[in-house]
Amino acid sequence: MKLDILAIGAHPDDVELSCSGTIAKEIAQGKKVGILDLTRGELGTRGTAEIRDQEAKNAAEILGVSMRENLEFSDGFFINNIAHQLEIIKIIRKYRPDVILCNAIKDRHIDHGKGSQLVSDSCFLSGLRKIETTYQSNHQKPWRPRLILHYIQWMDIEPDVIVDITGYIDTKVASVKAYRSQFFNENSDEPSTPISSDNFLDSVTYRARNLGRLINTEHAEGFTVERCPAVSSIFDLI
């Protein structure tokens, strides 16, 4: 199965918090989108890896993605090395996405910046013919995504690209709320964390509204780029 977009997150819920509005919109317009989680989020203060597995499945169903896989890297301890790069390269070559959405270039959580660079490097390496990989005993052909966008997470990074997600904010919020163990739940007796407050959950919508304000729409999501995206016509920017 070839994907149009592959959204990658260091933890389950990274994608939902940061770019699920864009995902929902593109799926509604007929694009095939998948999600790849690098870890199971097992070091999270709240919940368990097993709970987060189910929550990720529920969120995927809400968004309507074509696939969701988890590489089960070690939460907090994965590094940008050959072994981890090869596992991501195998996924990229398996699904051949044109667009990759991945973690913020820098952020409060150490896995986000690490994940961002790991994915970016893997995208480049995936296009090199002399790097050989196999999937289910079959030799994989090189594949390099045409566009890599880094979504925005905890830190208010100035976006290079802003995507209008007006009409999809409810789907975004619903996918975030699928992670009941992680975010505001008045019935939870688990420890408080920086993301478990009612204010943080509200901030998902606040940020979307603010980014929408910048482009004169109701809601939006922001991304940064490492390389300038190309357009065929200046009118593609309107």
CATH code at 19? 3.40.50.10320
Distances (CA, A) of 72 to 50, 53, 128: 12, 11, 25
pLDDT 10s digits, 147-185: 999 999 999 999 999 999 999 999 999 999 999 999 888
Is 94 in contact with 12 (CB distance < 8 Å)?
no
Average pLDDT, the chain: 96
Q: Above 90 in pLDDT, residue 195? A: no
CA–CA separation, 18 vs 23, rounded Å?
A: 10
Work out the pLDDT band at 132, boundaries 50, 70, 90: very high
Residue 157 structural domain: 5-237
Q: How many domains does the chain have?
A: 1
- pLDDT at 7 > cutoff 90: yes
CA 139 – CA 131 distance, rounded (Å): 11
Do the Cβ atoms of 12 and 179 come closer than 8 Å? yes
The Cα 180–Cα 111 span in angstroms is: 21
Which SS3 state, helix, strand or coil, does residue 200 take? helix
Element (DSSP H or E) covering residue 171: helix 169-177
